[in-house]
Structure 1
């Protein structure tokens, strides 16, 4: 069997038909160590071990395992990040949270930023890369997640990011930041969409109280770790913004509470400024 024959067979077996051929080509690139542009002009005969390796990757993907976990990396905000089943796969929509944060950080200012629930480090590392004068504290309660984030920081050579093991603000109660960002768990345990996310860490996805518990906890407590006029930016579900704004308005210490819409028109990020 040659490469093109395998690609045709593989693409027919993959679940995401629109991206099937691209995924098959990326598997071939990994196993055969062939650059994408060279695949167009080379059609080598595959050895038995190569076919076995390719088919093993294909089987994992056909069973529903996320493509990013199989290859072990995921692009995010111009960065190439390592990912594993210990962390959520960074999504393109979360890049809008980074955009919102960067819009509030002057390029030359030495802001202190805290990323709560950092996972792979995607948000923290993107901010650190775009704002090298900032000091970023990446926080997670999972050692396995922090190890992935630390490895990404080393690979990207970002020295302005530090890592702390903490359940939200517990271990950093004395910290004072100019900004806190977070993409916390916000999915209800009975949400029908969870089935499609079975391979990803559930503790990073699911929150009690119909998905609101962690979001409300951060609104209630994040202000104590912010300097006056500091910002809290939260990513959340597309039906949660109104309740979050109302809850924030009930708490003392928040002003300029507003939500930002994603490219599909949904309110997906809520921002509030510390008035204390």
Structure 2
């Protein structure tokens, strides 16, 4: 798969989403997030992923406006938090996020976690926002196969994206296959397992063979599996380094070696055992 930093993938509704972006989880509101987003856009990133929970939507919006990039070049994702789920409250939460971001239209709006008894009503609100043209695409985050099947059984508009924890120690093969079969684009959060992969000898060996970092190898592995990825960093040099993954390709053998590292090990909460 020949890609560049500017490459995009078509979601099932035809909206073009960048393959690669910047995540801003736990990035401080104000100067830190503005600096990181502006550095990413200057590097060539065109996708920024935030959420109501992160508390930094205003900084993301200011940085996008200050970057000088045309609005239609930048793909902005945000998410409705668990305590705001439900039909009316989701609509209210969306308007708050949209105001903080300073946007007329949000590119991708996600349900942050599958809150039992609420996510179907939340989805109805998101379908309405989509029909009204306030969002270009809608999707979910941290949904397991049974959550997705329940949603598919009741929805009028299928989710376009499922953003989940995904890395070589949590390859989620069955979930990825299910999403592919249902035209739901898988997106990886914590693709570098919050730094826990850097000492893995298999990854180090592959990285050495390509004269790349372990992080670059893992991010390349994501893309070659058809998974959109949004690594987080606040350091401009690391933001640039993470994006330097389009001048090499992993072999089938190397992909299989990385696949074989799976431990079903999470660095974040288990969606089936999350205290909402």
Q: TM-score, normalised by structure 2?
A: 0.31
The higher radius of gyration belongs to 1
Bigger proportion of residues as strand: 1
